[in-house]
Each structure stands twice: as structure tokens, then as C-alpha cells.
Amino acid sequence: MDIHAELKQAICKVNPGIDETKITPEATFVGDLEMDSLSMVELSLAMEDSFGVTLPDEELAKLTTVGEVAELIQSKMGA
């Protein structure tokens, strides 16, 4: 499973119309991807559906980049 590709799909699902080329491991959710707190909650739910892992809001709130979230997902999946 390509975590970055799945995560990119989840971000596009939550934030339709986003420029997919902006979704890189270094991209920040608030600055680069212009996501607000509601979008982050929706992303958390989309990731739970896609990856089958629960990402607590307090953990997700500490992460600022796409790469950090991908690492968290990978650690939760035990990969």
C-alpha cells in the first residue's frame, strides 16, 4: 500500500479542487494546503476509512506536514 498516494486521495476527497501537485510530504496542512480545523477532522475520518487506523485528534493536531501524518499512519499500521 502506498501511504502517500492514499493520503493524497484522502486530502483531495476532503478538499476538492486542491492542486494535487501541492500535496507533497513537506506540504503543511494549514499554510500550503489551506486546510482548517474542520477539514482536518474530515481528513482524520477519511484516513480511518482508507487505512483502518484511528488517529486521535490530539495526535493529529500536533502534526503539521503531510509527511508527518504519513509516518504516523505507518507507525499505527505497524509497517
Residues 6+ apart with CB under 8 A from 47: 7, 10, 53, 55, 69, 73
Span 1-40, pLDDT tens digits: 689 999 999 999 999 989 999 999 999 999 999 998 888 8
Instruction: Please tell me the predicted confidence (pLDDT) of residue 60.
Output: 81
Q: Against a cut of 0.75, is the pTM above it? A: yes
Q: Which CATH class is domain 3-77?
A: mainly alpha
